[in-house]
Amino acid sequence: MPDEPIRSSRWKRRIRNVLLGLVCTPPLLLAAGNLALATPWAKAALARSVKARTGFDAEFGAVSWTPWSGARLGNFQLLQPEPLRALVPEPLLALEEVEVHPYWKPLLKGDLQLATIRLKRPRCAIPIELLASLAPRETGPLASGPSIAALPSATDTPPFSAPSSPADGTVPKPQPPATPADAPPPPAPGEERATTWVEIEEGQLDFFLGATNVIKLSSFGGKIPVAGAPAEGHFSGESILAIGQSLSPGFDLPLGWKGPELRVGPGEIMVSGTRVRLEVALGRLPGLPFGADLMVAEQAVDASAAFAKRQPRAARVTARAQGGGFILVPGTWRAAAGLAVQELTLQSTSGEIRFSQAGFTATLEGGTLLCPEAKLIGDSISLLGNGRIDLGGETNAVLRGVMPPEVAAMWKGKLEKMGVAVPPVFTPLETPDRVYIDLRWVSYPGGQGIEFGPGGPVLPLPLAMAVVIGTT
């Protein structure tokens, strides 16, 4: 009998130790796992995995996971390709923080369904040269693969004669999607998966040509449905800049998800005082197919608020752009665009200048952007040009300016003030009181620029624009 209390006490201690172990083990395992994720070895292993999937070097600042907050990445960076880092030192992608939260009820049943993927302050810097390297002449099997539902045709006739595509003479339009052979079967009735959301906070997107920031989308964000049940969301941004000039004060576009398609719009944004209607569709299919339709219905435009120094105004503006392809295969991108402007006025240092008409047509096919015509026709100065940009790296473009000698003298004076020693090369025309100059895009060691006549000075694009726009 005296041994019974002793045995009872031992069993109580054992039960207490077991319970204590059951309570303490999960937190200890969680702490050990997070400590392991924080080691340089684990971060290097994750970086190697990212590079194997994307081809880009990656860096991880912090990695952690908890049952109540999900997975977290801190200070993640996807670096530029080595040859482009001198031109664009910013990372290709930088994320201050990424949080991934699952739906816990399905997870307890062994079914991983993501609830939200939250991206805090993403920064993306995309060099045009990088897109060039991704645009092979041979587009591969995706060129004839599935695409997304065709955008609704506009009720209005396009405001210009759209340039023909070399392939079939029509503006490219996406086709209805085909279901991939390896696609999972649709859920049975009553088993529809919950919606997965991507939440973006204070993002920034920059496109670079050489070292020049040509397009900047600032402070964008939204709540975007990307999987699961049909849902509606939104995407917004505070401003769009082109070469430092404000194009749009902001936008807020509706989104609609109905798998496998995410549709942006239809919606309207203001671009330099112009109402632009747009609709974009993206497919969650191999290659990420997309289609886009942008239209400017005939309207008078006053862009003086966006361009206070030049105060451009036009009596009539019409434009249309359509395109499609696979986002991950730039060589498949096809598009056609055109712009027509009538009765355009600009302010210059010598007063108001009037242009009776302006516009351009352009096509994108097989990795080549072709502009067969760009024009700006006025009484005192006319600009006529064409160009070709091969995303493989070659650029050929020329813009001929025809003007009276006094305008040519103003160009020369502007260049002299910039400290340019070599004068521009103007050539007299048979027409009285008219000279012309050919502005050519040229490449030189260390960069690219605009040549002002054969053997004339070569200026970087921003300075060349200051001469042409600032004095005409």
DSSP secondary structure string, 394-459? -EEEEEEEEE-HHHHHHHHHHHHHTT--SPP--EE-SSTT-EEEEEEEEEETTEEEEEESTT--EE
The answer to whether residue 140 scores a pLDDT higher than 50 is: no
pLDDT for residue 232: 94
Least confident of 255-259, 374-378, 462-466: 462-466
| Mean pLDDT along residues 458-467 | 81
Per-residue pLDDT, 300: 94
What average pLDDT does the chain have?
77
Q: Which residues contact 113 (CB under 8 A, 6 or more apart)?
A: 102, 103, 106, 107, 193, 194, 196, 228
Task: For residue 229, give both structure tokens.
Answer: 């049940």
Which of 336, 232, 329 is closest to 290 using CA atoms?
A: 329
Instruction: Output the pLDDT for position 63.
Output: 67
Residue 350: C-alpha distances to residues 305, 346, 353, 415 (Å)? 20, 11, 8, 17
Q: What is the pLDDT of residue 146?
A: 34
The half-sphere exposure of 152 on its side-chain side, counting CA atoms within 13 A, is 10
Q: Which residue has the higher pLDDT, 459 or 192?
A: 459
pLDDT score, position 458:
85
Residue with structure tokens 């539902």? Answer: 149
Residue 45's pLDDT band (boundaries 50, 70, 90)? Answer: confident
Rank 18-32, 119-133, 368-382 by mean pLDDT and report only the highest: 368-382
Q: Is the pLDDT of residue 421 over 60?
A: yes
pLDDT, residue 168, reads 37
Amino acid code (one letter) for 43: K
Task: Render pLDDT for 171-226 as a digit per residue (tens, 0 to 9).
Answer: 333 343 344 444 444 555 556 688 999 999 999 999 887 778 888 888 889 999 99
Cis-peptide, bond into residue 266, ω within 30° of zero = yes
**What average pLDDT does the segment 104-110 reach?**
78
pLDDT, residue 126, reads 87
pTM of the complete model beyond 0.85: no
Handedness of CA 34, 35, 36, 42 (dihedral sign): positive
Structure tokens at 407: 């305008």
Among the listed ranges 12-16, 102-106, 302-306, which one has the minimum average pLDDT value?
Answer: 12-16
pLDDT, average across residues 25-51: 62
* The predicted structure's pLDDT at residue 456: 86
Q: Between residues 128 and 316, which one has the greater pLDDT? A: 316
pLDDT-based confidence at residue 27 (cuts at 50, 70, 90): low
pLDDT for position 198: 92
Percentage of the chain modeled with pLDDT above 90: 24
Q: Say if residue 322's pLDDT is above 80.
A: yes
pLDDT band at 258 (very low <50, low <70, confident <90, very high): very high
Q: Cβ neighbours of residue 406 under 8 Å, at least 6 residues apart?
A: none
